[in-house]
């Protein structure tokens, strides 16, 4: 680890998550958005630009600026979670990768429970027009604790229909601070449903820190790791601002 920051009840590690696992220790839940597989990181990925002077938004190459997940990272996360997590392991992924995640989770000893779905009503269309667009992301869900799994949702479905751009809760129409940043509303619902107040929630691929911001607002403790210094700084700023806002309203 090259740096450790303590902000309120949050601990943030700058460095490779596989190196941070030994320092993180026991946690209550793992809720994370790791990089997707290699096919999602190609130049065929397209996004809308922020707009030009004539009001139009151009289609731009949207290749992600970080590496695809490796099998070492996936299996390492699952093995660590089974030994250190007393509750849920949730990992966002492509639908095509659900089988890989289930194999890694069960191979490490976790109890596979469900594939969740985040539906994005304002997701990007398929700009090539030669196939349907993908307006959702999958969530691999496994139980790492003892006994029967439990959550705070009762009989609710594992489907979340939440726009990326909810005003004040998502990107709010601003330029994305991270290319795969999740809406705060989505992460708040997951944290609320899959952990309890006072729990320690871990995000080993924390990016810009949205899971940590959700934890601050919901009275959870947080521990996260991020390998990119730019996003680590952003996560520190956002989580510190969330604590400041909480003290303001308190």
Return all residues near 153 (Cβ < 8 A) that are at least 6 apart.
193
Residue 37: its pLDDT value, please?
82
Q: How far apart are CA 115 and CA 96, in angstroms?
A: 12
- Give the β-pairing of 10-14 and 3-7: antiparallel
Domain ranges of the chain: 3-249
What's the CATH code, domain 3-249? 3.40.50.150
What is the chain's pLDDT, residue by residue, as a tens digit (250 residues)? 689 999 999 999 999 988 899 899 999 999 999 998 876 655 455 555 544 444 444 545 555 666 889 999 999 999 999 999 999 999 999 999 999 999 999 999 999 999 999 999 988 788 888 888 889 999 999 999 999 999 999 999 999 999 987 555 544 444 566 667 899 999 999 999 999 999 999 999 999 999 999 999 999 999 999 999 999 999 999 999 999 987 544 4
């Amino acid at each position: 680890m090259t740096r450790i920051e303590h902000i309120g009840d949050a601990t943030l590690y700058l460095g490779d998550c596989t190196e941070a696992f030994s320092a993180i220790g026991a946690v209550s839940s793992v809720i994370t958005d790791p990089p997707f597989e290699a096919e999602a990181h190609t130049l065929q990925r397209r996004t809308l630009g922020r707009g030009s002077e004539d009001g139009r938004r151009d289609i731009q190459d949207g290749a992600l600026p970080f590496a695809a997940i490796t099998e070492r990272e996936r299996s390492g996360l699952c093995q660590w979670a089974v030994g250190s997590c007393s509750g849920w392991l949730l990992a966002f992924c492509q639908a095509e990768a659900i089988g890989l995640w289930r194999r890694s989770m069960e191979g490490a000893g976790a109890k596979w429970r469900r594939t969740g779905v985040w539906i994005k009503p304002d997701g990007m269309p398929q700009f090539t027009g030669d196939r349907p667009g993908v307006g959702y992301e999958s969530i691999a869900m496994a139980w790492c604790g003892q006994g029967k799994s439990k959550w705070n949702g009762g009989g609710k479905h594992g489907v979340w229909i939440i726009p990326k751009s909810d005003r004040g809760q998502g990107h709010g129409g601003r330029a994305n601070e991270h290319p795969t940043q999740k809406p705060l509303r989505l992460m708040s619902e997951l944290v609320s449903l899959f952990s309890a107040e006072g729990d320690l929630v871990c995000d080993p691929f924390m990016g810009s820190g949205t899971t940590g911001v959700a934890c601050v607002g919901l009275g959870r403790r947080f521990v996260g790791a991020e390998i990119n210094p730019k996003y680590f700084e952003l996560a520190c700023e956002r989580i510190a601002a969330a604590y400041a806002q909480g003290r303001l309203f308190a």
